[in-house]
Amino acid sequence: MRHTFYRMFCESCTVFADGTALVDGEERITYAQLFEGVESEAARLRHIGVRRGDHVALLFPNSARFVVELFALMRLRAVPVPLNWRLTAGEVAEQLVAACCSALIASDDYAALARDALGELSWPVVLLPEGGVLGDDAAVLRLGDAPRIDESPENECALVLFTGGSTGTAKAVAYSDQALVAKILAFKNGDHAYRSDDALLLFSPLFHQGGFSFLAFALLCGAKVVLQKSLRGSYVVEMLRRERITQMLLLPPSLVARIRDAAFGCDVAFPDVRCITLTGGKNRLETMGEVFSLFPRAFARVGYGQTENAVCLSRYLSKEQFEGDPDAALSIGYPDPFCTVCLIDEKGLAVPEGEVGELWGWSPAMFDGYLNALDPCVNGWYPTGDLAVKTADGSYRFVGRRNDMVKTGGENVYALEVEGVLEGHPGVREAAVFGIDDEDLGEAVAAAVVPAEGASVDPVELVEYFKTRAASYKKPRAIMVMTELPRTSVGKVDKPALAALCVQNTRGVVEGAA
């Protein structure tokens, strides 16, 4: 019998029926109870008109209710579309159109946001209260003109997730059921797969690929998932002890600082934790050191991926391995099982070891394409837009986004490299590097920095510091000192906003550094 994603979920609920599947606040749900809840909710949704192939948006915090709705829709072969609850009503409305949604289900937390979004479109909505009780008068009023996706059973869409929108408008990424199954099988065939005695603390948003994937990894291996809407340091420390957490996802890695601050004064570290995954942001040596000081017995998994899931890289490091070779923590790892990776130059040719190229990849777990957008793949390969270098041991090092490179005076300057040098200054907590128009150079390197706590930053002194550690042509010619960096709705640094601010406002900026 062919695997399906939902069938794998059912098997997990049967094998681990008495085990704890979800912890949501004070609520504890076994696998048997979760399965019963999913089947019951699927029956309710079927009764009110949800059918196979419908794209149904979900506006929920990380909660047991979200998990029930997700699998209930999959049970009906409808297509769940988790939406980012940080968005404005207008942005939610745009994503409903982009994902071809015919209905929206929202928790009480986001009922107002749902009404505002659908009010802009005059679309109907089903609002389910937190308890999941569906009133007799509830109905799914479907959109007669909602676009239908032409799909064959083999590539029928099973899930839609949105990209983070770091390169513009977020795109609706469609996955087939077989892609989801392949992702689970690849994880189970990798090192350090989850076990049924694992406990995953999950505060990464479930509307993101990372949060969804780790939820699926845990539930389809019989592990316990402790859900939290967002990272609250004191709660994390409490859960680490009470639930004997063994697995955590830190996305981005800098979140470890919040746990460190909340754990300050604790007499002991947390011996139960066996793996911490760090992904979705800069991984500094200081961050890795903090991870191992809190979790000395754990492996640190550093990784790289994207919503499209074509290139998945990872590696595991113990505390001893990190202390013996700290630079290994700067690697983004080796290709995961079933994933094929290559580096391509601007002419479309493979680059040799040690040279910068764009990451291209193929995997049976990769997306099927974007809804309402052109297929970005070339002969089946997905170009990520990210630049990397392959090292002698076969691992890869991240260089930066292809469009996060400043071409200045004929030289290519990678933002990530410059940011790393700036953040090495003891007075700098965070840095973001971007390009601004320059009549002489075409583009000039510019930066925004956030001082470390209690520190002050002199832009002129910072440029002099930089010139002793990197080539002079890479130095920032404009530096803004800020209390915080602007971010997008998904938490990424908003570099276009920084570039516009830098051009408009010269306060705190040093220009034309020699």
Alpha carbons within 13 angstroms on the beta-carbon side of residue 5 total 29
d(CA 88, CA 84): 9
| CATH code of the domain containing 167 | 3.40.50.12780
In the listed set 156, 177, 198, which residue is the last one of a domain according to the structure?
177
- Residues whose CB is less than 8 angstroms from the CB of residue 474 and which lie 6 or more positions away in sequence, other chains included: 411, 413, 417, 418, 421, 445, 466
215 in any annotated domain: no
Provide the pLDDT for residue 459.
93
Count other Cβ atoms within 10 Å, centred on residue 285: 14
Of 429, 436, 423, the C-alpha closest to 478 is 436
- Residues whose CB is less than 8 angstroms from the CB of residue 53 and which lie 6 or more positions away in sequence, other chains included: 77, 78, 79, 148, 149, 151, 156, 157
Provide the pLDDT for residue 266.
63
356 in any annotated domain: no
352 in any annotated domain: no
Provide the pLDDT for residue 1.
47
Reported pTM: 0.82
In the listed set 160, 177, 194, which residue is the last one of a domain according to the structure?
177
Amino acid at 129: P
Provide the pLDDT for residue 152.
47
Alpha carbons within 13 angstroms on the beta-carbon side of residue 227 total 26
Q: What is the pLDDT of residues 374-408, one digit of tens each?
A: 889 999 999 998 899 999 999 999 888 787 888 88
Token reading at 97 = 């159109």
Q: How far is CA 499 from CA 227, 415, 444, in A?
A: 37, 13, 11
Fill in the DSSP letter of residue 63.
S
> Which range marks the domain in which residue 460 is found?
405-504
248 in any annotated domain: no
41 in any annotated domain: yes
138 in any annotated domain: yes
Count other Cβ atoms within 10 Å, centred on residue 226: 26
Amino acid at 205: P
Count other Cβ atoms within 10 Å, centred on residue 468: 7
| CATH code of the domain containing 443 | 3.30.300.30
286 in any annotated domain: no
Provide the pLDDT for residue 138.
37
Total residue length of the chain: 514
Number of domains, the chain:
2
- Residues whose CB is less than 8 angstroms from the CB of residue 40 and which lie 6 or more positions away in sequence, other chains included: none
Query: Mean pLDDT for each 10-residue chunk of the chain (514 residues)?
Result: 84 97 95 96 89 93 95 96 91 90 89 88 58 39 40 74 71 94 88 89 92 96 93 83 92 78 69 88 80 90 91 93 90 92 92 93 95 90 92 90 82 88 93 89 91 92 92 91 86 87 68 45
38 in any annotated domain: yes
Provide the pLDDT for residue 99.
92
Q: What is the pLDDT of residues 200-246, one digit of tens each?
A: 999 989 999 999 999 999 999 999 999 998 777 788 888 988 999 99
Provide the pLDDT for residue 168.
56
In the listed set 147, 177, 207, which residue is the last one of a domain according to the structure?
177
Provide the pLDDT for residue 153.
56
d(CA 200, CA 198): 6
